[in-house]
Amino acid sequence: MDEFVCLDRMARKLARKDPVCRRLMTVPGVGVIVALTYRTGSIYLSALRAAHVLMHHGRWSALRGWAMRIAKRSGAKLAKVALARKLAVVLHRMWIDGTEFRWTTSEQVRALAA
């Protein structure tokens, strides 16, 4: 158990030091392990893990709502894969251009402002 705690602390420390990991962890479902895994190159595996967490444990976001609509039409497995692909694209874009995650879509922002 002590080894696990030590490894967990090391992973959290690495993620906190890395600005890209910190930015990626603002996405729902993306935690320390997913951010570090994504950063080191296992893009789709980490995105699939994040999709699972987001669909089953995450708070509501436009991404989760989108995946839930797909799940109603086509099933949970297909929705999870679609969400993983979308998350991989979002995470890559955030990494490349340094943008932050937005919890709402631009249409929702416009509707709230009206």
Give me 67's structure tokens: 């995946």
Q: How far is it, in rounded angstroms, from Cα 45 to Cα 50?
A: 9
Residue 107 confidence (pLDDT) = 59
Q: Which residue has the higher pLDDT, 1 or 106?
A: 1
Q: Which domain holds residue 68?
A: 2-113
pLDDT at 43 over 80: no
Task: Express each pLDDT in 53-111 by its tens digit.
Answer: 888 887 788 888 899 999 999 999 999 999 999 988 888 889 898 888 877 666 554 54
pLDDT at 30 over 60: yes
Number of domains comprising the chain: 1
Q: How far is it, in rounded angstroms, from Cα 95 to Cα 21?
A: 9
Dihedral of the alpha carbons of 82, 86, 89, 92, in degrees to the nearest 10: -110
Residue 63 confidence (pLDDT) = 84
Residue 21 confidence (pLDDT) = 93
Q: Which residues contact 60 (CB under 8 A, 6 or more apart)?
A: none
